[in-house]
Amino acid sequence: MSDDDTTIPARRRFLVQGAAAAVGAVAGSARAEEATPPGTPEWMKAPGADVGSQTYGTPSRFEAGLIRNVPKGLKQYTSASSRSPLQDLDGILTPNGLFYERHHGGIPDIDPARHRLLIHGLVERPLVLTMEDIRRFPSESHIYFLECSGNPGFEAIKGKTASDLVGLVSCAEWTGVRLATVLREAGVKPEAKWVVAEGADAAALTRSIPIEKCLDDALLVYSQNGERLRPQQGYPLRVLLPGFEGNMNVKWLRRLAVSAEPAYSREETSKYTDLMPDGTARQFTFVMEAKSIITRPSGTQRIAAGFHEITGIAWTGRGRIRGVQVTTDGGRTWQDAALQEPVLNRALTRFRLPWTWDGSPTTIASRAIDETGYVQPAFEDLTAVRGLKSFYHNNAVVPWRIAADGEVANGYA
């Protein structure tokens, strides 16, 4: 942003009494020169807002445009999704208010004092747990990404921004108890092979989780980035399955049924299954494979010739990101990007590559390589095997086309 674009408040008006202080200043159109040397800006000439004038802090009013990307014109918003604004975020942690949403029956308004978790089925001791009970178990905190399995569908790749394309991924530090700990409290019987998790939402969303995952790194979480889960993320309790597709991470968790078989619920038969060209559908496709996207420069941004730091995010449901390669010449050559430490297991990883744009049209893209050696595939390679109708688990390379005028646009389009 150039100095000339800078908007500064013309006048700030304060109520003297503490919590009632009016935080919003009166917007004005004072001259930019006042905040440019040798001027002195208005905000230095009077005290700012009082301590505690916001008891739960919100972003600067100048960041009011940084919001979830909510699709327009859907037939209904009860079962729908909204995306994180990836192109305007830094680092690897998604602010709780900008975490992507996918709900199947709306967002329930759950009183944690009345919420209960029932554990039954192939267990020695069926249990009812309160939220206070669950917080008494030994706790752990881990940073993990979550990604919707349809991010985006193979026929939904015409979006303009990074968020439009893959904004159904977010990352947070989750705190809770190992699911294994809670299951051992109930005493899992040897014949148990699955745990059926059910939400307390209006969809009573149900997914079956293999017992191996339940006894490995699965968590029951109640906190996200240090505070209690947001209602959109399952308040007061959700399942967190590192690396597994989003809808299995059942929110508003009310029931765990330990069983010998999956539930074969609607969500794991007719919904979250991947239709192949031969008419068969892949079922129980749990892991989100390695993926990356350049978030800057990205679609709808405009750059000038000269230096730019290319940056983006990479992740894999199979462990850690080993490397990210970036092309700035339409795929002819690929360079290794620098990975920002820490590179964490099943978390977003930030990558960066310094780049000087010479002003000629080109296409840039990134591809992730994970610790198993898996390389993020090109869209043509994925669809050659899976066709265009499988909808879920599209982890293809996302190309950005840069025009001579510096306009960045979707390279698929």
Partner 1 sequence: MAMRKIPVLGGVALVIGLAGGAASAERYGIGRPATEAEIAAWNIDIDRDGRKLPPGRGSVSHGREVFEAQCASCHGSRGEGGIGERLAGGQGTLATSKPIKTVGSFWPYAPTLFDYIRRAMPMNAPQSLSDDDVYAVSGYVLHLNGLAPENAVFDARSLAAIRMPNRDGFVPDPRPDVGQ
Interacting residues with partner 1 between 150 and 169 (CB under 8 A): none
Identify residues 366-385 at the interface with partner 1 (CB under 8 A): 373-377, 381-382, 384-385
| Shortest Å distance, C-beta 194 to partner 1 | 11
Candidates 2, 29, 60, 270; binder of partner 1 (CB under 8 A) is: 270
Residue 221 neighbours by CB distance under 10 Å: 29
The closest of 296, 301, 274 to 366, measured between CA atoms, is 296
Are 304 and 406 spatial neighbours (Cβ–Cβ below 8 Å)?
yes
Q: How far apart are CA 100 and CA 69, in angstroms?
A: 9
Identify residues 125-144 at the interface with partner 1 (CB under 8 A): 125-130, 133, 135-138, 140
Residue 4 neighbours by CB distance under 10 Å: 8
Distances (CA, A) of 384 to 111, 291, 302, 373: 48, 18, 33, 21
For position 80 contacting partner 1 by CB under 8 A, the verdict is no
Candidates 172, 239, 290, 313; binder of partner 1 (CB under 8 A) is: 290
- By rule CB under 8 A, what string of x and - marks binding of each residue 40-59 to partner 1? --------------------
Chain position carrying tokens 């939220």: 131
Candidates 118, 192, 338, 409; binder of partner 1 (CB under 8 A) is: 118
Token pair, residue 293, equals 């996207």
Number of residues located near partner 1, criterion CB under 8 A: 75
For position 278 contacting partner 1 by CB under 8 A, the verdict is yes
Half-sphere exposure for 39 (CA within 13 Å, toward CB): 12
Identify residues 226-265 at the interface with partner 1 (CB under 8 A): 254-255, 257, 261, 263-265
For position 304 contacting partner 1 by CB under 8 A, the verdict is no
Candidates 83, 238, 386, 401; binder of partner 1 (CB under 8 A) is: 386
| Pairing mode of beta strands 253-259, 117-121 | parallel
For residue 344, the one-letter residue type is: L
| Shortest Å distance, C-beta 34 to partner 1 | 46
For position 204 contacting partner 1 by CB under 8 A, the verdict is yes
